[in-house]
Structure formats: C-alpha cells, structure tokens
Structure 1
Amino acid sequence: MAAAGWVRSEDQFLCSICLKVFTDPVCTPCGHNFCKSCIFECWDNNEIYQCPMCQKAFDPRPELYVNTFLSQMVAQFRLEAQHEPNISSSDQQAAKPGEVPCDVCTGTKLKALKSCLVCLTSYCQTHLEPHLTRSGLKRHQLIHPVENLDDRMCMKHDKPLELFCKTDHTCICHHCTYSDHRSHDVTPLKDEHEEQKPELKKTDAEIKQMIQERRLKIQEIQRSVELSKNAADTETAEGVEVYTGLMESVQRSLNRFKEEIQEKQRSTEKQAEDFIKELEQEICELEKRSTEVEQLSGSEDHLHFVQRFTCVKAAPPMKTWTEVSVRPPSYEGTVARAVSELEDKLTEDMKKVVKAELKRVQQYEVDLTLDPDTAHPRLVLSNDGKQVHDSDETKNLPDKPQRFSECVSIVAKQIFSSGRFYFQVQVKGKTDWTLGVAKESINRKLSITARPQDGYWTICLRNGSQYYAWSDPPARLSVQSGLQKVGVFVDYEEGLVSFYDLGSSVLIYSFIGCCFSDKLLPYFNPWPNDGGLNSAPLIITPVHTE
C-alpha cells in the first residue's frame, strides 16, 4: 500500500516549468527533470544554458535524452490516476503542519488531496469520492489543495470569483458584471488563464534573464574590485619605490651635509692638536733651559758659568706664537647649499615620477575637435578644428544659445560625463590664454571669471609671465618661463583635473575633490589678439608627436 500511495503522489511527477505532469521527461546533467519540450523551449529563448532549478550553467549545450525509467513511472501514474481506488481513512495520512487539511473530516484532519473551486472545500481521498463518481459533482473544478478558499469568494456578493475583468484587471463574480463592472471587458478565469499561460513562460524567461544579468553584473563588479585592488597594489608599490628613493636621496644629502661639517671640525681639531704638540715640545725645551739657568745662578766656577751660559744664550730662538691661533671654520651657507643641492636632486627625481605619470594618463587621450557653433564671433578656427585664435574682428554670426557672446571662448564638440580623458594644447608664443574644462550648462552670454563655483576648472597665463589657477581664491603658479605645451587630465569619478608642463615634465596644478554633477566640455580661451602680440593660436596636439 505504501508503494501505491507513493505512485499516486502527483507532486513527484510535476515539471517545474509548466507545472504539469511530465511529458517525455529528460534529465539535465545536474540531476533535475523537466518536460523535453519545456527545457528545449527555455534554452532556445536564452543564450545561456542553465538548469531552471539550481541555475547551474552548461557550456556547450548538453544533449538530453528521454528518461525511460521516469517516463514509465509517469505512464503508470497516469493510468492509476484514471482508476483511483477507494482508500480507507486508516491508510491515509493526517495533515502535517504546512499541509492543507480536509475540511470535512471530524476529529483527526486528514491531508487533503484536492480543493473544489465550486464548493470552496478541500477534501481527503475518502470525502473526495463523490466528486469522482457523481455526475453533478464531476463538473466541479478540482485543483491541487489550497488554503484560504474564502479568498476565492467575492467579498461583496459572496459568490465564487469565476470571471476576470480586463478593464480593471481584477477577478470578479457573475453578479459583479451587473453592478460595478457593467459594460466592462469580462472573460472566464479559465480563458484568461489559458491566455496568460504563454505569457507566464515569457515572464519566467524574462525573470531568469534578469537574474542572469544581475549575476553577470555581480561578476563584473567583483572583477572591477579585483582590478581596483591590483591597481591599488601596483600604485602602492610604485609609490613606495618613489618615496623610498626620495627618502634615500634626503638621507644621502643629510649624510653628506653632516660629513662636510664633521670634516671641517676634524680639520680644526687636527690643526689644534698639531699646535698643542709643538707648544708642549717647546715648553719641555724651555723647562730644560730654565733648570740649567737656575743651576748656573748659584755657580762660583767662572769658567763653567761662562761656557754654559754662552751655550744657553746660543740656543736657537723659539717660535713666536703671538699671531698663531685656531679659528673655528665658517659654516655659513652650508645648510642652504646642501638644501639647494637636495632640491635639485629631488626636482630631477620628481621629473622622472611625473614622466611616468604622464605616460599613464596619456593612455586616456581623446581626439578633440573645436565646436564652431560655440565660438565667439571674433574667433578664427582652422579647417581641421584643432586651432583657434582671436582676429580682433567681429564676424556676423547667428546668435545661437550655445555660442559665447562676451568671452572670446570656445568648447570642444566632445562631451564627457564619466571616466577619464586627456588632451594637450600648444600655447607657444602667446601672452595670454585660459584653458581647462567647463560644465555644459555654463552661462555663455556673460563675462565671468572661470572659477569652479561658476562651472570652470582652468589655469591661465596673463601678461606673458604670470600664471594662475582659477581656484577660490586664485593661486599664483610657479611655472618656468617659456611654457609651450600643456597637458590636461580629467578623472570624472575621482573629481580630479590636473595640468602638466609637457616641456619640463612638471605637474603644474591639480583641482582635487571636485563634485562633477554635469557633463564636461574641454574649454579654450585664446584671449584677445592685442594688436598681434597675442595672435598665436591655441593648438590641440596629439600625443604621438611628443
């Protein structure tokens, strides 16, 4: 009897895709079973072949064959389902927590096998028998047992919800068609079910596709994190190497400085030791003479006195020490000279660092073209859109909304709202200019200072030698005279705008912590011609010419 009960358990033979008893069941490599047509249709509508149950992906698409053993069991189940015998209450199972109990049973509630949508009652095998044998009850619609059958009743008319109102997208009873849903587009639930069923597969496929897309997005994010970590490790290693080199340079400079001071001190000490040694030798000699003079002073031997005193007086003269002195060495300028040498060394090291950094940022070079529709009427553009200068003559041009009408400015056609980009501009021969990036939404009809609060991130040259970053307040820049070419690098997400002197490989200035909430445009202002003194153009140059 146990075996028979197991065979009659319909849940064992349901396809998870169509929710019906298997037709030509096939087994995927991961061990799950589906109708052959269901799994094939699922895979035909997707580029990824994966199990709908466990989401395991297969590559390439596996060959699936009908599971003959399971197919035979399904056939046996269908046969027995058509001739279900009566089963006594003692052979049936009591309803467990989470299972639907029979609504008719008194005392111990047995597990319901079916629910009737007409009677709104769930039945065990014994109490289901009339629905299987009596002609009037056979027409009732039986479904898998469900709870809360009262929810299938119309709350207003207390009648079964048998219709679907397409106008209001809600389930209704027959009485509703004569009241709130009169003249609405109404159809039987069964017909709506059949109509929506194909849509269910499409929705299921769309959901699975969205799941797959999100899993791929997770993988993409994880890869981005891994790339970020690798980049951080590389940058850290390079930074440690640079800082270690700089610290070693500082330490070497400090050691040389200390050695120079110590060498001067050692020389002074050696000179003093030599003087002291010589003085001590002379003192020893003079003490001998003093002793001999004392001895002669008491001698009454005239011959001995005269002979010895003559020898004492004939002794070589001693050195005159009046002008001899030990002067401390001069240390004036030693620190300044050492620091200057260190500065020169660090400058050379910094140039190497900036050159390496330039090579990295130049990988983000973009091909810019100046936008003539934004050019101030006095500006003259080259045919290739790479050069611009002021002509001192105002042309009669349409006053378009995007055209600058006060500042002799122009922006590029290219717009940036994410990522990184780099471009470089030749400024050779000019006495005044401003360049950088600006928000797309800047006011182009007013004469303003190109500051961040106005939507500009720029640097400029004034009067041929004065360089400024238009920060708040403006910052005077220490730039070597003869600046000929400027590199501009922007990292949108990092809020970074950096300017480089390409001739000396020096970082001129960086705007950091910028909050970009708008699209950015490369910005150029060649400034007035000034009677020909500032007639040289601003020229967008490619990296490969370096």
Structure 2
Amino acid sequence: VRQDDLQDEVSCSICLEYLKDPVTIDCGHNFCCMCISDYCERWSTAGAALCPQCRAGFLQSTFRPNRQLANIVEGFEQLALQTDKEPMEKLCEKHGKKLHLFCEDDGEAICLVCDKSREHRSHTVIPIEEAAQDYKVGLRQFLGPAWFLPLQEKVRARRELIVAEFAKRHQALEEEKQLLLQRLEEDEEETLRKLQENTAFLVEQSSSLVQLMSEIEQKCQQPAADLLRVRPSWAHSVIIFPFLVDVTLDPSTANAYLLLSQDQQRVRVSEKRQDVPNNPERFDTCTCVLGRQRFTAGRHYWEVDVGEKTSWTLGVCEESVSRQGIFTPSPATGFWTIWLRNGDEYAALTSPLTELMLRVKPRQIGVFLDYEAGEVSFYNVTGSSHIYTFHDTFSESLRPYFYPGVRAGGLNDAPLSLQPGTE
C-alpha cells in the first residue's frame, strides 16, 4: 500500500488535511469534527444531511468521536514528518546519532547508543523501518472492512426498521382504503334502494295522476250546472293525502298559559298559568307550542281544525327559533306561517304582511311541507282551495307551529285541534 493511499484514508475529504478530532457518521466515513459540523450547519434539513462522500443520509445527533483513529492519525503524522525530513535526517538529541531503532515500550525512535544504554536495555527495540511497517499494517486493518462491520450492522438494522415501519403504514392505509370502499359500496346500495323506492312511488303517483286526468275529462263532459256543483275535494285527496302524517303537540315547548289535551291533539289558552318546568325549550312569552315532529326531508301534510275561532297562527318554524321574549314571525326569523285576526283578517306573515282574500271562511286548514322544493303551502280544506305558498330554502329541522290566539273575552276560547293522520 502506497503512503499516499494511506494518507488519503487519514485525511478529511472536506478540508483535505489530516483528520482533527475525527468523528464517524452513520455511513462509516470519517471527518474532522469541526468540518462536518460546519457542513451540517450549511446543508442539513431538520438535523439530517447527506454524506459529502457517498451521499448517504445521516443525522447530526449520531456523530461518534473516533479516539482510536485519532491516535493512528497522530502516529501517521509523526511518520510523515520523519519521511519528509529524511533529506535532513533527524539525529538523536542525546548522542547525535542516526535514529535506526524504535523503542516499543517508550514509543519513540532511538539510536544504537540509546539501545545499549541502561534506560532502554530491558525494553523491546525493533528497527525503525519495521515499526513503521507495523503502523501501516495496523492502519490498514483499522480502516479495512472488518472495522465497518458493527456500523454496517447498525445501518442494516435501521434499514429493516424503516422498511417495517413503512410496511405497517402501508397496511394501515390499505385497511383504511378497504373501509372507505366498503362504505362507498354501502352508500351506493342505499342510494339505489332509495331510487327504487322513489321510482315505485312515482309510478304510483303517475297512476293516480292518470286517474285524476281521466276523472277531470269525464267531469268536463258534464253539463255546466252539474260541473259547478261538484266540490274539488276528490282532487285534494288524490294529490295531498298520500303525504298525510300524524302530528302531536310537544308539551315541553308549550307556553305556561296553554292547556294541552291528554292525547296532545288539542290546545287552547287558559286564564291561569300552569305549573310547568321552566325549561329552555318552552316559549316563555308567546302563547304558542310546537309539534313533536321534526322534518329534515320529504313531503308532509297535516290538517288543523280551527272551527269558529277569531284568531290563530299556523305553519312551520325552524328548530332553532328563539323561545324567549317577544318575536315577530317571518321567514327572516325562521317562521313560515299564516294567521287570522279579528275574525276575518287573513294574512301570510311575510315582510311586509301579505293580505289574503278568502271566499270561504275555513274551518279546517291544511299545511303541506315540501322540504326539498323549499315550499310551505296552506289549503282551505273547508273550501277545497289553495290559500298561499311560501318559497324558500331550508337548512335545518322544521317543526309544526301553533298559536291559538288570545281569549278575547271568551270569544276565542275554542281549541286548535289536530286531525288524525288517516284519510
């Protein structure tokens, strides 16, 4: 092995000088501690960098001082100095003779006179060329493959750890993928089922409409006088009644001055305050009450018997409407309602109010909610006619709303009565 090759092994590839305070990084290469530290400060990311020689990744926190290599470098420097000064051959400081021998006990070069002296007589002394050769062999062994075996084992273990960790993550991702695909398949099946149900419903409605058209055509053939005597309630039944639902009153929302029937189908105003809990769902000022039902989709129809009452308010409202204090019902505040005041004043509670002119005083009011279409419609069941339709967009649960009005000295004492949800 040439001295130049060995000199490369004990030199830093960054500063190209002999290794000073050598440290070893993960890949096994050695550098001056200061050189590799400066390199990491310039090129590392989050404490990780690439080896300047082999480009393998390493962490700054894993630097390992290499004391044994530092001693070998020091010895190599001494040998190099002796070689460099061979033309000016260094002499023994005590005797002025050439240094032909090397004392292994004291670790220094000596002359022939020193070897015979009492100081070195019992020491192990070898020719200086042989000592230099031993140092070179030791350096080659230290820098050879065997020295890297522990480091290679650590690198192999770390590589296996990384592979296992990514395999575990891949398995977790695969399981999550399968779960999402399963949910997607279930959603697809549920959507298909609903489509099939809707298709069956539309077929049924189509048949009803065909029947309705046939009846209309037949009635159109009747004499005018007979036709005018026919009430259109049959059309109302065919189109609206398939969506008829049972609505009951929710006592937890009823104002303390309201009386609810035991079956929760009727409500009227009382002269006395009832002994009820002061829960947050209850209307504390307005004498109104909500239905138990909450609608978030679909079409729903219910009827309310208003009889000869002189005032009332009916419709739907959002679940989140204010229950405290005085409020003005309108779509802006989450209410879609119509009212009667003073016995003959009907209005839709828009902003401003929309006055309604009814030919026949209704004794029963029908309320029809089409959630997806954003429509709330009111019908005069007594006169078999449409009263008014709100058009809006709904974003939360809607509940039936009932206000039986004030007592008016007993003139408006009659209850609001819900009709059973059957044809």
TM-score where L is the length of structure 1: 0.44
Quickly say closer, same or farther: Cα 1:384–1:224, change in 2 above 3 A. closer
Asked whether 1:433 is paired with 2:328, we answer no
Quickly say closer, same or farther: Cα 1:249–1:438, change in 2 above 3 A. farther
Asked whether 1:212 is paired with 2:185, we answer yes
For residues 339 and 234 of structure 2, the distance between their equivalents in structure 1, rounded to whole angstroms, comes to 22
Quickly say closer, same or farther: Cα 1:412–1:226, change in 2 above 3 A. closer
Asked whether 1:535 is paired with 2:413, we answer yes
User: Who is 2:301 aligned against?
Assistant: 422
AA of the residue aligned to 1:528: V
For residues 359 and 458 of structure 1, the distance between their equivalents in structure 2, rounded to whole angstroms, comes to 25
AA of the residue aligned to 2:385: V
User: Who is 1:362 aligned against?
Assistant: 241
For residues 346 and 155 of structure 1, the distance between their equivalents in structure 2, rounded to whole angstroms, comes to 92
Cα distance, 1:394 vs. partner?
3.0
User: Who is 1:526 aligned against?
Assistant: 404
Cα distance, 1:175 vs. partner?
3.8
Cα distance, 1:372 vs. partner?
2.1
AA of the residue aligned to 1:441: S
For residues 351 and 229 of structure 2, the distance between their equivalents in structure 1, rounded to whole angstroms, comes to 28
User: Who is 2:333 aligned against?
Assistant: 454
Percent identity (aligned): 31
User: Who is 1:188 aligned against?
Assistant: 161
Quickly say closer, same or farther: Cα 1:387–1:518, change in 2 above 3 A. same
The 5-angstrom pairing of residues 16-165 of structure 1 reads 156-157=49-50
For residues 206 and 491 of structure 1, the distance between their equivalents in structure 2, rounded to whole angstroms, comes to 35
Per-residue Cα deviation, 1:330-362 (whole angstroms, up to 9, x for no partner): xxxxxxxxxxx6xx94683xx43x533334433
Select between 204-213 and 518-527 the one with higher mean Cα deviation: 204-213
For residues 197 and 481 of structure 1, the distance between their equivalents in structure 2, rounded to whole angstroms, comes to 73
User: Who is 1:376 aligned against?
Assistant: 255
Q: Is the 8 A contact 1:426 1:538 kept in 2?
A: yes
| Residue among 484, 492, 504 paired with 2:363 | 484
The 5-angstrom pairing of residues 271-310 of structure 1 reads none
Quickly say closer, same or farther: Cα 1:422–1:155, change in 2 above 3 A. same
User: Who is 2:131 aligned against?
Assistant: none
Quickly say closer, same or farther: Cα 1:401–1:358, change in 2 above 3 A. same
Per-residue Cα deviation, 1:136-173 (whole angstroms, up to 9, x for no partner): xxxxxxxxxxxxxxxxxx983259xxxxxxxxxxxx95
SS in structure 2 at match of 1:453: helix
Asked whether 1:517 is paired with 2:395, we answer yes
Per-residue Cα deviation, 1:60-104 (whole angstroms, up to 9, x for no partner): xxxxxxxxxxxxxxxxxxxxxxxxxxxxxxxxxxxxxxxxxxxxx
Quickly say closer, same or farther: Cα 1:385–1:233, change in 2 above 3 A. closer
Per-residue Cα deviation, 1:103-139 (whole angstroms, up to 9, x for no partner): xxxxxxxxxxxxxxx9xxxxxxxxxxxxxxxxxxxxx
Q: RMSD of the alignment, in Å?
A: 3.9
Select between 374-383 and 475-484 the one with higher mean Cα deviation: 475-484
Q: Is the 8 A contact 1:377 1:397 kept in 2?
A: yes
Quickly say closer, same or farther: Cα 1:243–1:216, change in 2 above 3 A. same
The 5-angstrom pairing of residues 207-286 of structure 1 reads 207-213=180-186, 215-216=188-189, 219-220=192-193, 223=196, 230=203
AA of the residue aligned to 1:375: A
For residues 365 and 537 of structure 1, the distance between their equivalents in structure 2, rounded to whole angstroms, comes to 21
Cα distance, 1:504 vs. partner?
3.4
Quickly say closer, same or farther: Cα 1:445–1:222, change in 2 above 3 A. closer
User: Who is 1:407 aligned against?
Assistant: 286
Quickly say closer, same or farther: Cα 1:190–1:177, change in 2 above 3 A. farther
For residues 355 and 478 of structure 1, the distance between their equivalents in structure 2, rounded to whole angstroms, comes to 24
AA of the residue aligned to 1:205: Q
Cα distance, 1:432 vs. partner?
1.4
- Alignment gaps of 5+ in structure 2: 1-26, 28-46, 64-157
AA of the residue aligned to 1:178: T
Quickly say closer, same or farther: Cα 1:346–1:469, change in 2 above 3 A. farther
Quickly say closer, same or farther: Cα 1:245–1:477, change in 2 above 3 A. farther
Cα distance, 1:368 vs. partner?
2.4
AA of the residue aligned to 1:191: A
Cα distance, 1:508 vs. partner?
2.6
AA of the residue aligned to 1:157: L
Q: Is the 8 A contact 1:428 1:482 kept in 2?
A: no
Per-residue Cα deviation, 1:190-233 (whole angstroms, up to 9, x for no partner): 43255456546634532442452354366457647856875786
Cα distance, 1:376 vs. partner?
1.7
User: Who is 2:376 aligned against?
Assistant: 497
Cα distance, 1:449 vs. partner?
3.6
SS in structure 1 at match of 2:49: coil
Cα distance, 1:526 vs. partner?
0.6
For residues 402 and 381 of structure 1, the distance between their equivalents in structure 2, rounded to whole angstroms, comes to 16
Q: Is the 8 A contact 1:437 1:520 kept in 2?
A: yes
AA of the residue aligned to 2:161: P
SS in structure 2 at match of 1:188: helix
For residues 195 and 61 of structure 2, the distance between their equivalents in structure 1, rounded to whole angstroms, comes to 55
Q: Is the 8 A contact 1:355 1:505 kept in 2?
A: no
Per-residue Cα deviation, 1:426-454 (whole angstroms, up to 9, x for no partner): 11232211111112222233334432223
Quickly say closer, same or farther: Cα 1:200–1:451, change in 2 above 3 A. closer
For residues 446 and 388 of structure 1, the distance between their equivalents in structure 2, rounded to whole angstroms, comes to 21
SS in structure 2 at match of 1:205: helix
Q: Is the 8 A contact 2:245 2:421 kept in 1?
A: no
Higher strand residue share: 2
Asked whether 1:464 is paired with 2:357, we answer no
AA of the residue aligned to 2:189: L
